[in-house]
Structure 1
Amino acid sequence: MTFKGINKVYFLGIGGIGMSALARWFRHEGYPVAGYDKTPSPLTEELEGEGMLISYEDRVDSMPVDFTTAPEEVLVVWTPAIPRDSVLLNFFQAHYTLKKRSEVLGMITKDFYTIAVAGTHGKTSTSSLVAHLLKSAGKPVAAFLGGITQNYQSNLILPGKTKEQVLVVVEADEFDRSFLRLHPNEAVVTSADPDHLDIYGDEATILEGFRDFIRLVDKRGKLYIQSHALFRLGEDLEAKATQREYGLRSTGIHAENVIAKPGIFQFDYIGPKAQISGLELHIPGFHNVENALVAIAIAVDHGATPEQIREGIRTFRGVKRRFEIHSTEEGKVYIDDYAHHPEEIKACLSSVRAMYPMQRLTVIFQPHLYTRTRDFAEGFSESLSLADEVVLLDIYPARELPIAGVTSEMLMEGIQAGKKILIKKDQVMEYLKESQPEVLVTMGAGDIDRLVPGIAAWEKSRAILKKE
């Protein structure tokens, strides 16, 4: 893969999960890669270990010198998460060729057979499942993912040397209308709930964005759409591709005999080309069974056998921070999840309830974005009420400035849990030691993940103490 006249690539926001996958792709293709991010993270440390030069200062003189001598030979990839007043962004806009991450992903995948997975939630787990099932069935797969897969310990999967047609799996991100820059041969729509209203303005506009994405799918390809998403978008989608509905209770591709057990969900797959019984999915959750349904349908369409499907489902280990089980020792359960939308929270907590119906459920939630908290306050309160105990942290602002009157406290009144409390992030460990939760779930898309290693280590230590 080459970009004419480009000899180096610089990433403005290189630590983002989508940006880092592209950075890894360019590094694999032989380009010198450098970048900037606001703060170091385990992911940026990995990128540096892979040979990328990363600065954490928003200054022009922080760039490697050889990226400044011939601006016309440097491609700068940036993300809208970078503030408009960034020194580096304004410098690059004046002197360099800039392209958004979505533009570059569209350029890379344009000449490949592309399977694009869209949805306001579910797309990371689903795209990772699709990639894993195809790869475990021996198909040549490249995948640009929005999370770190446990099987491959990366957000980039490469096909290796092959003369076969490479299948590219990508997340089709609706934020900033990025998915409209892709060229999908096949597409999945996992959900179409209102989100990113700071970008779209209202629910009707985001739904039209999804309809625009659907119209991009090649007429010789397929569109897989989840039942509720189809209901929300309407039957008349003007899709050129063959349309297939899926869902737990769909009349199309669906599951039967779903059984929830601690750490595992069993189910039967029922589809137009295959029926596969007794599947064992080791990433629990009713929503993950639904994600698996469409991944199986795609793999079957590309020639995977029932035996390969069975093994692929059994061996899939999920994505970091997507219903990631850290501890089940001595009945002390700890699960971490990226959920940051009311529907995601509902799906996760409903599944935890099914797995551990007799144990007390505690959730620690960090809201993400002031606008999202404001727009969906009632939904957040309702979903969090599925827990016995709710611990709220302050809102993680990400790219936003504070909004007057919008705080985590505004969710408290609507939460119907038996116990609810608002604390600071640095008080979490002390609170856990006092409360001794039975089943603990941490949730959020901000920096709550920085707490996860410490909580997991504490859970392990108290299980050991109990044994002694």
Structure 2
Amino acid sequence: MNPTVNIQEILDSPSRRVYFIGIGGIGMSALARYFLSKGIKVSGYDKTETALTKALRAEGAEIHYTEDVAAVPKDVALVVYTPAVPKDHKELVYYQTNGYNVVKRSDVLGAISESSFNICIGGTHGKTTITTMVAHILRHSGYGCNAFLGGIASNYDTNFWSSDNNVCVIEADEYDRSFLKLSPDVAVITAMDADHLDIYGDEEAVQDAFVQFANKVKEGGLLIGKFGLKRLKETTVKKRWTYSLQNDAADIFAARIKIEEGGYRFDVQLKDKVLSNCELRIGGMHNVENAVAAVAVASSLKIDDEKVKAALAAFKGVHRRFEYVIPPKKFSEGAYVQPVLVDDYAHHPEELRALLTSVRSLFPQRVVTIIFQPHLFSRTRDLAGGFADALSIADRVILLPIYPARELPVEGVSSEMILKGVERDDKQVLSKEEFLAWMKQHAKELNKEFGEVMVMAGAGDIDALVKPVKEMLIG
């Protein structure tokens, strides 16, 4: 445990107040909700107002959007900041130089989970959906858990909930090596691809960190790793399972997969039994693989098979993870079939590849348009070729300018870097305003024949465009 974070002391402090710098972040907001659930006063700063900050304010948090030392509370027991906040942030510097207890988000999460049974899901992609699936299965089945999610669970419209059962389901974030503060009883690792190279430098360093994370599994604990992750053989964990979509060389895998109206029906072959006729009502073949990993966790906890299947069938997904904004419409409902609109957080080439491959398999007869907003100049620079290759799966490619997030522009790095490598004739870079104008002009065309599939992807602010696009398509 980080010596500067004592959760009980904070709960017992006279001020009973925690301040968050970057409160609107998905991980930060889950911690804010944790403290709100304990009756602690929560306040914080974020750069812009979002649906998430509005929700937090409705739940009792005080939030402002201007970097202003005069506006911050002085009577706080703890100040929590995200590593995405610049080091020279005025409020952060004020608290650091005036003797306040200032810690990273990962320190708080590590402290909260110090005395609980922890299920920690990590990986360069897939972790948000698997974490949410696992937490949902535990909640829906009555097993119970405290959930700290990296996305908004569609079933509950939140990224945090609590339980009397002292079990935590935690999304283990590799950014800034945050996940190394956790102590898993069960750990899942989905992938170790090159990402966050601004932090790690190269792919080998990323993989080294995941090996370290795996080795954090407690004595007698379980490591569940994606089949084919060779570096996991280096870990010291004695009890290890592998999972896969359909590779029967893995310990746990799916079989007899059938596509059914934008979802799937399948069996899960576990180590000692078969969970037959599972139903998943969200899109994306990669989500079947995610479900296999979640079922593996549930199996390790010995949750009743029928309860697991019922929870899977009831799972509505995660906001912005293959989210049907305009769902597929059955052909039996009439000859005219509306377009499909999918919103997704994909911001890494492999995530885009999985997303677009799934769209292709679900809608083989439809034209697929991808609207992608690259996230970070460094990621675009390092992975431009991979992005171009994945985007080429679509029929039409529209790129928005790079969303900078925490970064300053890098000379020579732009969305055009990706566009050059896209192997499609119908491709272009448009500003957000130009894209909306394009949509207004082409909305009727997109309804022809079966109706196109429009996919909007990215981790920046592209989600703000989803509602107007939906209105243009079916309004």
Structure-1-length-normalised TM-score: 0.93
- 1:444 aligns with 458
User: What is the CA deviation profile of residues 115-154 of structure 1, one whole-angstrom value per residue up to 9, with x for unaligned ones?
Assistant: 0000001110000000111111111211000011011110
Q: Name the amino acid aligned to 1:294.
A: A
Structure 2's unaligned 5+ residue stretches are 1-6, 330-336, 447-451
Confirm whether residue 375 of structure 1 aligns to residue 374 of structure 2: no
CA distance in 2, matches of 1:458, 1:187: 43
- Establish whether residue 235 from structure 1 lines up as the match of residue 242 from structure 2: no
Identity %: 44
Offset at residue 413 of structure 1 (A): 1.7
Partner of 2:449: none
1: CA distance, partners of 2:112 / 2:294 = 23
SS at 2:206 equivalent: helix
Partner of 1:43: 52
Distance across 2 between alignment mates of 1:234 and 1:116: 16
Q: How does 1:16-415 map to 2 (within 5 A)?
A: 16-63=25-72, 67-68=73-74, 70=75, 73-95=76-98, 96-159=100-163, 162=164, 165-228=165-228, 230-231=229-230, 233-239=231-237, 241-250=238-247, 251=249, 252-327=251-326, 328-329=328-329, 330-415=337-422
Residue correspondence of structure 1 range 424-443 to structure 2 within 5 A:
424-435=431-442, 436-437=445-446, 438-443=452-457
Instruction: Say whether the 8 Å CA contact 1:274–1:300 is kept in structure 2.
Output: no
Once the two structures are TM-superposed, the CA of residue 352 in structure 1 deviates from its matched residue by: 0.3
Give me the whole-angstrom Cα distance separating, in 2, the residues matched to 1:273 and 1:365. 42
Q: Which residue of 2 aligns with 1:464?
A: none
Query: What is the one-letter code of the residue matched to 1:395?
Result: I
Deviates more, 1:283-292 or 1:10-19: 283-292
Contact 1:268 1:275 in 2 (8 A): yes
**Aligned counterparts of 2:173 and 2:441: Cα–Cα separation in 1:** 40
Look up the equivalent residue of 1:17 and give its one-letter code. I
Shift of 1:234: 4.9
Aligned counterparts of 2:294 and 2:361: Cα–Cα separation in 1:
23
- 2: distance between equivalents of 1:180 and 1:84? 21
**Partners of 1:419 and 1:334 in 2: CA distance:** 19
Structure 1, gaps ≥5 residues long:
462-468
The SS at the match of 2:35 is helix
Aligned mates of 1:143, 1:452 — CA distance in 2: 27
Distance 2:44 2:286 in 1: 36
Partner AA of 1:263 in structure 2:
G
- After TM superposition, the structure 1 stretch with the greater mean CA deviation from structure 2, 148-157 or 276-285, is 276-285
Q: Distance in 2 between matches of 1:310 and 1:185?
A: 24
Deviations for 1:222-263, whole angstroms, at most 9, x for unmatched residues? 0000013x23x2523222x41000011332100001123442
CA distance in 1, matches of 2:68, 2:293: 45
- Report the AA paired with residue 97 of structure 1: N
- Cα distance in 1 for residues equivalent to 2:410 and 2:261: 41
Asked if the contact 1:273/1:300 (under 8 Å) is kept, the reply is no
What are the Cα deviations for residues 391-430 of structure 1, in whole angstroms up to 9, with x where unaligned? 0000000000111100000111210124101100112222
Q: For residues 288 and 254 of structure 1, do their structure 2 counterparts lie closer, same or farther at Cα, with a shift above 3 Å needed?
A: same
SS of alignment partner, residue 80 of structure 1 = coil
Q: Secondary structure at the match of 1:449?
A: helix
- Counterpart CA distance in 1 for 2:55 and 2:175 is 26
Equivalent position amino acid for 1:91 in 2? Y
Q: Which secondary structure does the structure 2 equivalent of 1:121 belong to?
A: coil
Moved over 4 A (4+): none
In the other structure, the counterpart of 1:466 is: none
Q: Which amino acid aligns with 2:60?
A: G
Note if contact 2:439-2:472 (Cα within 8 Å) is conserved in structure 1: no
Determine the structure 1 residue equivalent to 2:3: none
Higher alpha-carbon deviation: 389-398 or 243-252: 243-252
Distance 2:224 2:97 in 1: 42
What is the alpha-carbon distance in structure 1 between the residues aligned to residue 148 and residue 195 of structure 2?
A: 22
> For 2:425 and 2:258, how far apart are their aligned partners in 1?
28
Q: Match of 2:242, as an amino acid?
A: E
3-state SS of 2:9 partner:
coil
Secondary structure of residue in 2 paired with 1:103? helix
Q: Secondary structure at the match of 1:147?
A: strand
SS at match of 1:217: coil
The separation in 2 between residues aligned to 1:355 and 1:441, in whole angstroms, is 13
TM-score (normalizing by structure 2)? 0.92
SS at match of 1:265: strand
Distance 1:446 1:189 in 2: 25
Tell me, yes or no, if structure 1 residue 456 matches structure 2 residue 459.
no
Question: Which residue number in structure 2 is paired with residue 465 of structure 1?
Answer: none
What is the alpha-carbon distance in structure 2 between the residues aligned to residue 166 and residue 331 of structure 1? 46
Q: Name the CA distance, whole Å, in 2 between partners of 1:3 and 1:23.
A: 17
Judge conservation of contact 1:262–1:356 (CA < 8 Å) in 2: no
Q: Which amino acid aligns with 2:90?
A: V
Task: Supply the distance in 1 between the matched residues of 2:77 and 2:69 (Cα, whole angstroms).
Answer: 15
